[in-house]
Amino acid sequence: MENEQNYVALPVADGSEMAAYTALPENTLGKLPAIMVLQEAYGVNHHIRSVTERFAKEGYIAISPELFHRTASKGFEGDYNDFSTVTPHTKALTIEGFGADLKATYKWLIEQGNVDQNRIYSVGYCMGGRVSFLANALLPLKAAVSYYGGALDTVADSAPQLHGKHLFFWGGLDKHIKSENIHTVIRAVEAAGKDFINVKISYADHGFNCDARSSYNEAASKEAWALTLAFLKD
């Protein structure tokens, strides 16, 4: 398995064990910010591991938990050209399971002696965008980011529990997430009086950040990355 030394095994409250991919900055001295990188529906694959490493290069202690750990083997990667390769795992997911996995990941972070507990964040992509929203509602995060969060509107009622400010990215060409789904989310966050930034990139499609997908948009990815880093640093 690629970069086997980067994996840690996390005990989860339901008795399961979850693998997580970690990446550390070159300088690990002092108290550092940390971030949970939450996977697409295709697993903690090469793309998600690369994103995790990019955050580490920016000075974050980064960790990406394998949210399919109850039904898939460690290192599972789905096929971007065949969604059926991931449906057995996505169908088995539950809100309760997400909560247990997020708590286990957060616990690992706060147990690291060099993590600044006042600067812990989350970022998620597609399915992970919804999980990042749940993380912000469940955990005392400073801020969180959701890239084209699939089915995020189904958990919009968690908005009153958000701890930190939230950044949303959507693709204007995205046929998977309708405008009314986005409006449901934003209305809920506004009604809860929570701080947020809402960004729709008109020329981007679903999955625009992933260079392994046909929908990858280099310009949109670079712009979103720059805004994400500025948002978290602020």
Q: Within 13 Å, how many C-alpha atoms sit on residue 78's CB side?
A: 24
**Which CATH number characterizes residue 33's domain?**
3.40.50.1820
pLDDT score of 3: 80
**This model's pTM is above 0.85:** yes
**Residues designated catalytic:** 126, 174, 206
pLDDT tens figures, 186-220: 999 999 999 999 999 999 999 999 999 999 999 99
pLDDT tens figures, 100-158: 999 999 999 999 999 999 999 999 999 999 999 999 999 999 999 999 999 999 999 99
- In 57-135, DSSP assigns E strands to 61-65, 115-125
Domain count, the chain: 1
* CB-count exposure of residue 221 (10 Å: 0-12, 13-18, 19+): middle
Render 169-206 in DSSP notation, one character per residue.
Answer: EEETT-SSS-HHHHHHHHHHHHHTT--EEEEEETT--T
pLDDT score of 132: 99
| CA–CA gap between residue 52 and residue 22 (Å, rounded) | 7
pLDDT tens figures, 50-78: 999 999 999 999 999 999 999 999 999 99
pLDDT tens figures, 152-180: 999 999 999 999 999 999 999 999 999 99
Residue 121, domain extent: 4-233
